[in-house]
């Protein structure tokens, strides 16, 4: 008897705080996923980093042995300056791109990566004025971009997602949830094909040093706004039609980002995902909801009465043949 009572009380306690328990498991799962990613990346990439370090040490030692007139501190000073310039997008190699990093098309590409928060990092402002302007430009431009993308995605979602689902639901009588799931899957497949597979094939052809996997990797890193910067198109040696190529990449990034947000919004509107997300949200109390409803009704009633009184006063003022005395008599109650 006591065990059944204790079990039922525990069940009631868990049900009462179900949202908190789900949120706790969500936080724990996210932390475990971070640790899992760190373990995998470390185990995969650490051996390659060790091999690269050993190779660089051998090259450095061999270079110093072949050039005895050059001391190690002088070489390290030179290499440090070269690496510092490389971080700003400037290279001293003879086969490096001879194009400027801050012509109009390159600056347009940089501005698009800043506003979309992609930020490859291959080109950064050199001057203090450029860094200050980048801060101000980002503070204004990033919220502006979010507003722009929200408005565009809202309009595109109406024509691409809601109307087709409603049409098949009303015209053919299919279940709305089933139509929404099938539509979301098809839209995701079309988006991945048009903005990942096809552009990856194009980049693998236009970029000499990229294979299909590296091109697909660039597309995903860019459209997910991660922007690691290890692969940046249009930076190769003697790139043909570089200005037009940069403008095309800028348009591709903006359109691809809009397409990704439309797909994300489409999946978020699925009933199953909405139900799943509510498991981790804080549930509102019924008393709080009733208070909000009463306050909203009181505000609505007061606004209606104020509007009616205002309309009555305006009507009286607009009647030219009614004197103040007659209006006062009409407002006063008549004697029996």
Report the alpha-carbon distance of residue 240 to residue 308 in Å, rounded: 70
Tell me the average pLDDT of the chain. 79
Q: Which residues contact 254 (CB under 8 A, 6 or more apart)?
A: 112, 116
pTM attached to this predicted model = 0.70
Euclidean distance between CA atoms 280 and 287, whole angstroms: 21
Report yes or no: 21 and 14 within 8 Å, Cβ to Cβ: yes
- The count of residues in the chain is 336
Of residues 2 and 51, more confidently modeled: 51
How many Å apart are CA 284 and CA 281, to the nearest integer?
A: 9
At 70, give phi and psi (nearest 5°).
-100, 125
The whole-number average pLDDT for the span 289-299 is 49
Q: Where are the alpha helices (DSSP H) in the chain?
A: 2-16, 18-66, 72-87, 104-115, 128-157, 163-171, 176-192, 198-206, 212-223, 242-268, 271-278, 286-317, 324-331
Question: How far is 329 from 109, CA to CA, in rounded Å?
Answer: 75
More confident residue, 221 or 64: 221
219-228, 273-282, 316-325, range with the lowest pLDDT: 316-325
Q: What is the pLDDT of residues 262-283, one digit of tens each?
A: 999 999 988 888 888 887 777 7
């Amino acid at each position: 008897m006591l065990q059944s009572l204790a079990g039922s009380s525990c069940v009631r306690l868990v049900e009462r705080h179900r949202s908190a328990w789900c949120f706790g498991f969500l936080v724990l799962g996210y932390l475990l996923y971070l640790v899992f990613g760190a373990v995998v990346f470390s185990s995969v990439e650490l051996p390659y980093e060790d091999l690269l370090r050993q190779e660089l040490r051998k090259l450095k030692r061999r270079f110093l042995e072949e050039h005895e007139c050059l001391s190690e501190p002088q070489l390290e000073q030179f290499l440090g300056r070269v690496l510092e310039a490389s971080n700003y997008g400037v290279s001293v190699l003879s086969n490096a791109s001879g194009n400027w990093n801050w012509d109009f098309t390159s600056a347009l590409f940089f501005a698009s990566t800043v506003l979309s928060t992609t930020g490859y990092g291959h080109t950064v402002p050199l001057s203090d004025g450029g860094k200050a302007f980048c801060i101000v430009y980002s503070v204004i431009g990033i919220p502006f971009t979010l507003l722009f993308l929200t408005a565009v995605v809202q309009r595109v979602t109406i024509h691409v997602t809601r109307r087709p689902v409603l049409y098949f639901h009303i015209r053919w009588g299919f279940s709305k949830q089933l139509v929404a799931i099938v539509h979301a899957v098809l839209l995701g497949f079309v988006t991945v094909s048009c903005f990942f597979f096809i552009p990856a094939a194009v980049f693998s052809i236009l970029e000499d040093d990229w294979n299909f996997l590296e091109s697909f990797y660039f597309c995903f890193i860019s459209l997910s706004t991660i922007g690691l910067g290890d692969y940046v198109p249009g930076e190769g040696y003697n790139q043909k039609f570089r200005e037009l190529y940069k403008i095309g990449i800028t348009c591709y990034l903006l359109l691809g980002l809009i397409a990704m947000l439309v797909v994300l919004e489409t999946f978020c509107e699925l009933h199953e995902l909405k139900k799943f997300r509510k498991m981790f949200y804080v549930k509102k109390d019924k008393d709080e909801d009733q208070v909000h409803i009463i306050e909203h009704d009181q505000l609505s009633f007061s606004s209606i009465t104020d509007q009616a009184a205002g309309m009555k006063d305006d009507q009286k003022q607009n009647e030219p043949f009614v004197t103040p005395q007659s209006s006062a008599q009409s407002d006063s109650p008549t004697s029996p």
